[in-house]
Amino acid sequence: MGNKAIRRMTIEAFLAWQASQSERYELVDGEPVAMAGAKPRHDRVTGNAFSEIRRQLRSVGSPCDAFTADIGIRTTVGNVRRPDLSVLCPPFDEESTTADAPRLIVEVLSESTERVDRLIKLDEYKAIDALDCIVVIDPTRVDVGFWFRDAGRVWHSANFQEMEAAIDMPALGLSVTVSSLYERVQVTPHSRLRLVWEDDPA
C-alpha cells in the first residue's frame, strides 16, 4: 500500500494553527516551517533597520509604517513568508496578521537560511505587484543587496559595500545610510572573494 498523500495546509488553516503556537512559522508549499532563532548581530541589524525606517516614515508624515516578522506576507505562490521587516501603506486591515501588498521588504541573512532568502524568497517577493523595494542585508560584513522597480515596474538591482553609501527609495520617501543599518554591529570588510550579489540578475 502506497504512502498517503500529505494534506497541505491552506493559508486560512495555517493562520488558525499558528495562532495557538508559541513559535513563529512560515507556510511553505502547504507546510509550516519554523523560523530560525536569531544571533545578536542579526537582531541588531534588524532593529537598526526597523528604527531607522520607522523614524524616517514618521518624520515625513507618511501614512505608511514599518512592521516586524509578526506580520506574515502572502506571496503569489500561496506561501506565507515572514521577512524581518516590511513596510505597509494604507489601506490595510488592522486586525489581520498577514498582508499581501507590502511596499518594502527587508531580509537580514542568517547562515541557515541564506540561500533561501537570496534565491527562493527573492523570486517570490519580486512577483508581488505592490512591492517597490527589497533590501537584503548580510549581518557579518558590509554587504547590502538592493532591488527596486523603475517607473515601468521593471526590477533593477544594486549592491552597497561602503558605510557612507545611501540606499535611496524615493517611492517611499526614504534614504537609508548603510552605516545606520550596521550601527553597533561588528562586521568585517567586504571581500572580493565573496560577492554574493554579482551573479544574481535583477
In the 3-class helix/strand/coil scheme, how is 169-189 assigned residue by residue?
EHHHCEEEEHHHHCCCCCCEC
pTM for the model stands at: 0.88
Asked if residues 196 and 138 have their Cβ atoms less than 8 Å apart, the reply is yes
Q: Which residue ranges form the domains of the chain, and what is each CATH number?
A: 37-181 (3.90.1570.10)
C-alpha dist (Å) from residue 27 to 10, 75, 89, 144: 9, 10, 23, 26
Q: Which of 174, 55, 24, 164 is nearest to 104 (CA)?
A: 174
* 22: Cβ contacts below 8 Å, ≥ 6 apart: none
pLDDT in tens, 149-188: 999 999 999 999 999 999 999 999 999 999 999 999 988 7
The 10s digit of each residue's pLDDT in 58-92 is 999 999 999 999 999 999 999 999 999 999 999 98
